[in-house]
Amino acid sequence: MKYDTVLVLDFGGQYCHLIARRIRENGVYSEIVAHDIKPEEIKTLGAKFNIKGLILSGGPASVYEPNAPRPDPQILEQGLPTLGLCYGHQLIAQIIGGKVEPASQREYGIAYVTIDKPVDVLKDLNAKEKVWMSHGDTVSAIPSQYEVLAHTENCPVAAFKHKDKPIHGLQWHPEVVHTKNGAQMLRNFIFAVCKCEVNWKMEDIIEKMVEEIRREVGEGRAIIALSGGIDSSVATVLAAKAIDNRLTAVFVDHGFMREGEPEFVKNVFQEFKMYLIIAQAQKRFLEKLKGVVDPEKKRKIIGEEFIRVFEEISEKTGAEYLIQGTIYPDRIESGFRKFSDKIKTHHNVAGLPSIIKFKRIVEPLRDLYKDEVRKVAKMLELPKEIVFRQPFPGPGLAVRIIGELTEEKVRIAKKADKIVREEIEKSGLEENLWQYFVVLTDTKATGVRGDARAYGYVVAVRAAESREAMTASFAKISYTVLERISTRITNEVPEVTRVVYDITHKPPATIEWE
C-alpha cells in the first residue's frame, strides 16, 4: 500500500522538519525533499508514495538575493495542491508575478492577522488569529487570478490563494505552537485541500528504521554510542533488533556526566542483557581540553575524542559501522543544510573529525524530534526512567561549565546540579519541564559567609519548557522552589557565593549556555 504523502520542499528554514512532523502527527506521511526537486522527480517518487501535495518551507534568504534557493517554477503547473509558508509564500508570489518587497516594519514573533476570507486552508478560523511571524520581506500585491485571504497592518497579502487552482500561501508559520490554530490550518491543507487519507502510523517508522540499519550494516559489525539518554537508548534497541549480537554498545564516561549517571546506565542496560562496555575516559578528555575556553572548540574536541575512543574499541570488536542516536534538532542547529544558519556544533554531528575510520555512520533517528523519539521508546517498551528522562547533551556538563574545564569546576557543577534535580523533582515540577540544570559561570562574586568575606562562583539555574527544543520558554517556577535551590547550593557547595535564574527564552537564547 502506498501512503498518502505531502512533500515538504526544504528552503533551509529552522522549522522545516517541524512541518513534516506536524503532518505525520495527523496520520499522513510526509517527507522532506530538496528545494529544487524537478516535476519528473516528483513523478518518480510517486512510484513509492501517493503524492497529494507540496509545501514550500520557510528559509533565511530573501527572494531577491541572486543566490537565493528557488523551486523549479514548473512544480506549480502539475495541478498538485501547493502551500507556501513564509519564504515559501514569497517565492510563490514572486513566481506568479506578484510583488514582494522589504516590509515597512519587520514582523517577528506573535502577530494578529485579520482573516478576510475563511476558506480552504483558513476554513473555520476566527476573524482575528494569533500567529507566529518572522519575516523581513512582504508580499504587497498579487495578480488578479489570485485573491487575498488575510492581512495584517504591515502585510497586505498575509495569505492568498489562486481562484481556481489549489495554490496557497501563508506569510506565517502554522507549524509552530505559537500559532494558536496552526494545527487546524495544516489539517485544512492536508485533508480539505489535498484530500489525504489517514493511512500512516508511527509504528511504520520503527520498521523503516530497523530495515535501514540492516541495509546499511549488511553483514558487518557495529558499535553504538550509548549515553543513556533517550535518543541513544532508542537507537541501541533498534540496532539490537536489526543486527542482534553484531552490535556492541559503548558508554563513554568522559567525566562530564551528571552525578550517578554511569551507574544508572549500567543498571538499566544490564537488565537488558546486552553487551555493554563502559569506557573510563575521564583523564584523556580533561587532558585534551586543558586551556580551551571557546565553546565551539570544546564541542569539537569532545566530539573528536569520542570518536577516537570508539575507534579504539571498535578495532578490538571489529566494528566497521558507528550507530548514533542523532535526532533532527541536533542536525539542524549544527547547520548541516546548505541554506540554514549554524547555531552550534552538536557533538554527535558536526563535531566529528573529518577523517573517520568507520566505514559509515548510521543515524536512524535523524529525522525525528524528541517527543517522537519518546513515542518510539514507549512502543519499544523501554523503562519509564529512560522514556521520561530529560535530555542531556553529548558533551554533558562540559557545555554547562563556562570557560576552561577543571576537575574542581566539574565537581562543583555536579554537586549543584544534583541539588537542582532533587529540589525540582521533590516539588513535582519535572513533568512539565523539558530540562532543568545548572550552569557554572566563569564569573566570580563577593558574598558573606559567617562574618567573613567570601569570593566564589556564580551559578545559574536554567529550567526550560519546550516541545521539541526548537523553541523554549524559561519556566516560571515559584520563588519558594528557587529559594530552596539557592539556599541549598550556597550552603552545600561552599565554592558558590551566588545563584541566579536564567529568564531567557529560546530564541533569542539557546537552551544550553555553550
User: Which residues would be at the binding site for ligand XMP (CB under 6 A)?
Assistant: 329-330, 333, 343-344, 346-348, 391, 393-395, 435, 469, 506, 510-512
Smaller CB separation from ligand XMP, 262 or 447: 262
Query: Which is the catalytic residue, given 16, 17, 35, 86?
Result: 86
Cβ atoms within 10 Å, residue 265: 23
The alpha carbon of residue 39 and the mean position of all alpha carbons in its chain are separated, in whole angstroms, by 30
Q: Work out whether strand 128-141 and strand 82-85 pair parallel, antiparallel, or are unpaired.
A: unpaired
Smaller CB separation from ligand XMP, 88 or 395: 395
Least gap, CB of 27 to ligand XMP (angstroms) = 27
Query: Which is the catalytic residue, given 17, 89, 162, 173?
Result: 173
Least gap, CB of 401 to ligand XMP (angstroms) = 14
Smaller CB separation from ligand XMP, 17 or 347: 347
Round to whole Å and give the CA distance between 256 and 22: 35
Grid cell at residue 400? 554547562
Least gap, CB of 89 to ligand XMP (angstroms) = 27
Least gap, CB of 349 to ligand XMP (angstroms) = 7
Round to whole Å and give the CA distance between 15 and 23: 13
Reported residue count of the chain is: 514
Smaller CB separation from ligand XMP, 305 or 330: 330
Write the burial class of residue 302 (CB in 10 Å: 0-12 exposed, 13-18 middle, 19+ buried).
buried
Smaller CB separation from ligand XMP, 333 or 363: 333
Is residue 263 part of the annotated active site? The answer reads no
Smaller CB separation from ligand XMP, 59 or 395: 395
Query: What are the phi and psi torsion angles at 395 (to 5°)?
Result: -75, -5
Cβ atoms within 10 Å, residue 300: 19
Whether 213 contacts 239, CB under 8 Å: yes
Least gap, CB of 329 to ligand XMP (angstroms) = 6
Is residue 173 part of the annotated active site? The answer reads yes
Report H helices in 161-260: 182-187, 202-217, 230-243
Smaller CB separation from ligand XMP, 12 or 391: 391
E strands along 263-328, which residues? 276-280, 321-323
* Residue whose grid cell is 522514556: 387
CA nearest to 148, candidates 133, 138, 137? 138
Is residue 296 part of the annotated active site? The answer reads no
Q: Which residues contact 263 (CB under 8 A, 6 or more apart)?
A: none
Whether 404 contacts 292, CB under 8 Å: yes
Least gap, CB of 416 to ligand XMP (angstroms) = 17
Query: Which is the catalytic residue, given 107, 175, 333, 468?
Result: 175
Which one-letter amino acid corresponds to residue 293? V
Least gap, CB of 420 to ligand XMP (angstroms) = 14
Catalytically active residues are 86, 173, 175
